[in-house]
Chain A
Amino acid sequence: MTFINYAAKEINCKIVYYGPGLGGKTTNLQHIYNKTAPDRRGKMISLATEADRTLFFDFLPLDLGSIRGFTTRFHLYTVPGQVFYDASRKLILKGVDGIVFVADSQTDRMEANVESIRNLELNLQEHGFDLASISYALQFNKRDLPNVMPVDEMYRMLNFKREPTFAGIAPQGVGVFETLKSVAKQILVDLRKR
């Protein structure tokens, strides 16, 4: 839900990183945090388990500058990917403007990827959103690992609506900003069209 404050001249948009457990959602946010100038980012909050798995969400506010005199902020969230945290995932999708799906490229995680996209579709529907029309980007993460599925095969299996798709190695930052920019642009273009 884009939040436009005409009095304070601010636009706030919400982007949610979705995907199976251990796929690299939190790592994407950590990289963005590390590479963003301190005056353009807020504190990163991670509500995580002792073992560093996301328990409720990660949160990173970015302040990227202004458009037409309006300060433009993006609030990035990750969901917990582990299957049994579904109730929490639903809560975090509330009011979302755009989604990044972080898929795990390892062959043995394809089923988890497929299941997670299906889960995303259903949870979006519960909020009255449609994956077919919402701003959306796809990332094939962990391309540095040996047991990965070829990109074109993954594309056929996971691409939903010809959304922009990026190969990623999140800990090294490969593909991370490209993915974020892609979804952020779609959200802003939507703002123009309305």
Chain B
Amino acid sequence: MPTTYVEVYEEEFERLEQALRRLRYDSNAKAVFLIDKNGQQIAAVGEVEDFDTTSLASLTAGNVAATDGLAKLIGEREFSVLFHEGQRDHIHISIVARRAILLVIFDERSSLGLVRLRVKRASAEMDEIFEEMNRKESRGPGGRVEASPFSEITDEDIDSLFGD
């Protein structure tokens, strides 16, 4: 099997961001992140400057992967929600559309109950957006609206990345 690609286009990206912004507002959260299961950040809203977002995405994905492994070991398909309680800040982690991770960071301005409720609604909305993305992807490279900007990458382009 060749390498697989995840592609996010302008339109879906904006809709996802919008859903995240609403979730953050409705749940009174500090920040909300949408992360691909392999540890790449898809989008983030809120007080994101306070966090090392790249590390956050990678560790969250590692955490989910390890928990998925645990679930399988005891015969569960997955644990749908993870919650980590800190002294001030708390983390709520859930799966969206089976392939993305929703991470909500909140403090005493919110509550677990509220976050849980709002996450549920946002998830349903994002499921739909991901379905739309799947439809676009399944059309394959040939069926895409715009031509791939990478078909014309030259060896020089690649060498220049490494400062050769």
**A residues apposed to B, CB below 8 Å:** 1-8, 11-12, 14, 42-43, 45, 47, 56-57, 59, 61, 64-65, 67-70, 72, 75, 87-88, 91-92, 94-95, 97, 128-130, 133-135, 177, 181, 184-185, 187-192, 194
Find out whether the CB atom of B59 lies under 8 angstroms from the CB atom of A192: no
19 A–B contacts, CB within 8 A, in A order: A2-B3, A2-B5, A3-B38, A5-B13, A5-B42, A6-B8, A6-B9, A42-B54, A57-B62, A59-B58, A68-B157, A95-B39, A133-B1, A177-B162, A188-B161, A189-B153, A190-B3, A191-B150, A192-B151
Which residue in B7, B52, B152 is a CB contact (below 8 Å) of A42?
B52
Find out whether the CB atom of B157 lies under 8 angstroms from the CB atom of A64: no
Residue pairs across A and B with CB atoms within 8 Å: the count is: 129
B6 at the interface (CB under 8 A from A): yes
Find out whether the CB atom of B13 lies under 8 angstroms from the CB atom of A67: no
Question: Per-residue 0/1 for B31-62: is the Cβ within 8 Å of any A Cβ (1 yes, 0 no)?
Answer: 00000111110100000000010110011001
Find out whether the CB atom of B39 lies under 8 angstroms from the CB atom of A75: yes
Contacts of A57 in B (CB 8 A): 62
B75 at the interface (CB under 8 A from A): no
Taken together as a complex, chains A and B put the C-alpha atoms of A121 and B162 apart, in Å, by 29
User: Shortest Cβ distance from B104 into chain A, in angstroms?
Assistant: 21
Contacts of B6 in A (CB 8 A): 1-4
User: Shortest Cβ distance from B62 into chain A, in angstroms?
Assistant: 6
- Most chain A CB neighbours (cut-off 10 Å) among B3, B36, B39: B3
Contacts of A128 in B (CB 8 A): 1
Find out whether the CB atom of A56 lies under 8 angstroms from the CB atom of B62: yes
Find out whether the CB atom of A68 lies under 8 angstroms from the CB atom of B14: no
Taken together as a complex, chains A and B put the C-alpha atoms of A11 and B158 apart, in Å, by 13
Q: A3-B36, A42-B52, A91-B65 are in contact. Are A194 and B5 (CB under 8 A)?
A: yes
Find out whether the CB atom of A4 lies under 8 angstroms from the CB atom of B1: no
Contacts of B2 in A (CB 8 A): 133, 190, 194
B10 at the interface (CB under 8 A from A): yes
Of chain B, the residue at the smallest CB distance from A192 is B153
Contacts of A190 in B (CB 8 A): 2-3
Find out whether the CB atom of B38 lies under 8 angstroms from the CB atom of A95: yes
Find out whether the CB atom of B40 lies under 8 angstroms from the CB atom of A68: no
Taken together as a complex, chains A and B put the C-alpha atoms of A177 and B8 apart, in Å, by 30
B74 at the interface (CB under 8 A from A): no
